């Protein structure tokens, strides 16, 4: 099956009657016109009123808003998606600020925790440890053959929730919904994949409704062989596809990115996407603090893939501003589960070594702040409430405008809330978070806390790679994405303390990032598509717009 939207309505292949009504790509439900009802054998199968797409949206929103919990809203939206593709995406695009917390963080985390219990209809491709030698055959079972974006997880580190095994499929499904809504990637070009190698989560292993392998995780050479087969199978089956690694554990995330980034069209959103959106937030923060990025001292709480990825990008940005790489790295410090990352420690994983500096050891985060006097603290630990009142007050004592980024998600894992950051700093904090927070008023000033959501980055990056046909995804592309995003933050945004543009502009943002990414691909001789005369116009022409199609004119 190809994209069914390309089928000529006049051809014998075009479905009729109930087959047309139940086809999620082609149906318009009660919006079929009188002429279409006669032509396609729909007369009598629908109520007589010919509705508009806007009326359909009103019905969806009315029912959505009646749902008592966010999880019920999530289930409802997924059901809409299963039966009516254009309507689902129209509702999401037109109501993105309301829908984003439901189809992605924080609600998607809750959905993943109970995925086997709310399972309705399969989505995506499941590859298990039992499928060695058959991965190409499995990929061939997917009905859509022009796949351009694959989001793949092994479910070992889902958000800040840990090992959820095959329940992690909710993440690729959610991420790809955002690729379509925010960057206009055609839904049939998106493929969610879960590689199930088992789980270490005892609760899942003893849950009779868990849908994954009831076994401990595959490790070592067998795991690597399955990943290698998957990458090779994608390259042969979908040679134009970009592979986004998502929510792999630290032990595999860095290793797999290093292994495949020069062999395939891959990137890791937790490392590179998080780095870019955080980098953009810091660049925006510089406009509020009236300082330069190269002058900052950053202290990270958490030294996993997100933190190291952010630091690597910040180092690149500081080098662009005139520092040497060594000088830039000395401005990035890490505090992990065992304390401050310093050279004297003998327990450091390889990915931390570049950021192990000369300093006395410190086992308490507050002590590290007093020692280093950072201008910014960045929480990527997955550990809630670690930015205590004492921590925020210490930052406020050191800095006139302390930069406090509480990036762990979902909301339950946030290092502090927006309200806490603003109130404990007497309204002086420059704040961003990984999960959404409501506006906060301190004194006579109202703040609109910005969400450092990767959705500002990865859809545009993916679109730029597709448009240019880039053979590889480079760090320069993510730095360009960060700079582009920061440039799109308005003075009005900054007046409210918001470090990112409104989500209502997300398709404009994604198009701009796609242009910047494609430009890098052409500059680095990585593009395989001929450069169009007007790159921006060409990229915008690729973006799916979920409007009902008139089949009979």
Residue carrying the six token digits 């303390």: 497
Show pLDDT as tens, one digit a residue, over the chain (553 residues). 456 677 899 998 999 999 999 999 999 999 999 999 999 999 999 999 999 999 999 999 999 999 999 999 999 999 999 999 999 999 999 999 999 999 998 899 999 999 999 999 999 999 999 999 999 999 999 999 999 999 999 999 998 889 999 999 999 999 999 999 999 999 999 999 999 999 999 999 999 999 999 999 999 999 999 999 999 999 999 999 999 999 999 889 999 999 999 999 999 999 999 999 999 999 999 999 999 999 999 999 999 889 999 999 999 999 999 999 999 999 999 999 999 999 999 999 888 999 999 999 999 999 999 999 999 999 999 899 999 999 999 999 999 999 999 999 888 889 999 999 999 999 999 999 998 899 999 999 999 999 999 999 999 999 999 999 999 999 999 999 999 999 999 999 999 999 999 999 999 999 999 999 999 999 999 999 999 999 999 999 999 999 999 999 8
| Cβ density class 239-275: b for 16+ within 10 Å, e for less | ebbbbbbbbbbbebbbebbebbbeebbbbbbbbbbbb
151 three-class SS = strand
Contact 452, 278 (CB under 8 A): yes
Query: If we measure between CA atoms, which residue out of 185, 41, 109 comes closest to residue 382?
Result: 109
Is residue 410 reached through a cis peptide bond, with omega within 30 degrees of 0 on the bond before it?
yes
175 is catalytic: yes
Rounded to whole angstroms, the Cα distance separating 224 from 29 reads 46
CATH class of 4-101: mainly alpha
Distance in angstroms (rounded) separating the CA atoms of residues 501 and 412: 24
From CA 268, how far away is CA 270, in angstroms rounded?
Answer: 6
What would the 3-class secondary structure string for 62-113 be? HHHHHCCCHHHHHHHHHHHHHHCHHHHHHHHHHCHHHHHHHHCCCHHHHHHH
Fold of 113-264: Rossmann fold (3.40.50)
Q: Distance (Å, rounded) from C-alpha 355 to C-alpha 358?
A: 10
* pLDDT recorded at residue 412: 86
Phi-psi region of 8 (alpha: psi -120 to 50; beta: other; left: phi over 0): beta
Q: Where are the beta strands (DSSP E) in 415-542?
A: 430-433, 440-442, 445-447, 450-451
Where are the CATH 1.20.1370.30 domain residues in the chain?
4-101
**Sequence ranges of the chain with CATH classification 3.40.50.720:** 300-436
Q: Which of 459, 467, 458 is nearest to 518 (CA)?
A: 467
What value does the CA radius of gyration of the chain take, rounded to a whole number of Å?
Answer: 24
Bridge partners, 127 (sequence order): 195
State the catalytic residue, choosing from 28, 73, 175, 386: 175
DSSP H or E segment with residue 493: helix 491-495
Neighbours of 450 (CB within 10 A): 30
What is the pLDDT, as a whole number, of residue 4?
A: 66
| Residue 456 known to be catalytic | no
Comma-separated ranges of CATH 3.40.50.10380 domains in the chain:
113-264
The two beta strands, 149-153 and 332-336, are unpaired
Give the pLDDT score at 3. Answer: 64
Listed residue (411, 409, 412, 442) closest to 425, CA to CA: 442
CA dihedral 484, 523, 261, 231 (to 10 degrees): 100
Q: Tell me if 17 sits within 8 A of 40, measured CB to CB.
A: yes
What CATH number does the domain located at 300-436 have? 3.40.50.720
DSSP assigned state of 444: T
pLDDT of residue 1: 42
The whole-angstrom separation of Cα 339 and Cα 385 is 17
| Burial of 11 from C-beta contacts in 10 A (0-12 / 13-18 / 19+) | exposed
Kindly name the residue from 104, 210, 238, 548 that is annotated as catalytic. Answer: 104
């Amino acid at each position: 099956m190809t994209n069914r939207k390309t089928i000529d309505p006049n051809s014998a292949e075009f479905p009729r009657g109930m087959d047309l009504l139940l086809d999620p790509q082609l149906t318009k439900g009660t919006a079929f016109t009188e002429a279409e009802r006669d032509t396609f054998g729909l007369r009598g199968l629908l109520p007589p009123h010919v509705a508009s797409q806007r009326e359909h949206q009103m019905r969806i929103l009315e029912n959505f808003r009646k749902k008592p919990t966010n999880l019920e809203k999530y289930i409802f939206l997924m059901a809409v998606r299963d039966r009516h593709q254009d309507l689902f995406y129209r509702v999401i695009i037109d109501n993105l600020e309301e829908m984003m917390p439901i189809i992605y963080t924080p609600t998607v985390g809750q959905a993943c925790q109970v995925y086997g219990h709310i399972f309705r209809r399969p989505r995506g491709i499941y590859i298990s440890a039992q499928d060695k030698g058959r991965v190409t055959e499995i990929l061939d079972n997917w009905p859509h053959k022009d796949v351009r974006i694959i989001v793949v997880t092994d479910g070992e580190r889902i958000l800040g929730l840990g090992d959820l095994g095959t329940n992690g499929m909710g993440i690729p499904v959610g991420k790809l919904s955002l690729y379509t809504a925010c960057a206009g990637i055609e839904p049939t070009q998106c493929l969610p994949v879960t590689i199930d190698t088992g789980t270490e989560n005892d609760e899942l292993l003893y849950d009779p409704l868990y849908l994954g392998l009831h076994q401990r995780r595959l490790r070592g050479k067998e795991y690597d062989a399955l990943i290698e087969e998957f990458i090779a199978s994608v390259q042969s089956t979908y040679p134009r596809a970009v592979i986004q690694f998502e929510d792999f554990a630290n032990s595999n995330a860095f290793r797999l990115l290093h292994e495949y980034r020069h062999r395939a069209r891959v990137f890791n959103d937790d490392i590179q996407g998080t780095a870019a959106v955080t980098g953009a937030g810091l660049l925006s923060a510089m406009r509020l603090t009236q300082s330069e990025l190269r002058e900052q001292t950053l202290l990270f709480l958490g030294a996993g893939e997100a933190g190291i990825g952010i630091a690597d990008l910040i180092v690149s940005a500081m080098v662009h501003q005139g520092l040497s790489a060594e000088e830039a790295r000395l401005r990035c410090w890490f505090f992990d589960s065992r304390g401050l990352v310093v050279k004297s420690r003998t327990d450091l994983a390889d990915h931390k070594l570049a950021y192990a500096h000369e300093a006395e050891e410190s086992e308490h985060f507050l002590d590290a702040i007093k020692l280093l006097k950072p201008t910014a603290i960045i929480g990527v630990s997955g550990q809630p409430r670690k930015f205590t009142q004492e921590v925020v007050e210490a930052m406020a004592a050191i800095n006139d405008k302390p930069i406090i980024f509480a990036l762990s998600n979902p909301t339950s894992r946030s290092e502090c809330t927006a309200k806490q950051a603003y109130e404990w700093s007497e309204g002086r904090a420059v704040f961003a978070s990984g999960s959404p927070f409501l506006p906060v008023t301190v004194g006579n000033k109202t703040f609109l806390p910005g969400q450092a959501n990767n959705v500002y980055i990865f859809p545009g990056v993916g679109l730029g790679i597709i448009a240019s046909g880039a053979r590889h995804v480079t760090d320069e592309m993510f730095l360009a994405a960060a700079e582009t995003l920061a440039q799109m933050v308005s003075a009005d945004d900054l007046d409210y303390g918001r470090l990112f543009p409104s989500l209502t502009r997300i398709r404009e943002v994604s198009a701009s990032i796609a242009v910047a990414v494609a430009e890098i691909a052409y500059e680095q001789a990585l593009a395989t598509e001929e450069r169009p005369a007007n790159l921006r116009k060409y990229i915008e022409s690729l973006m799916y717009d979920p409007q009902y199609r008139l089949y009979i004119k």
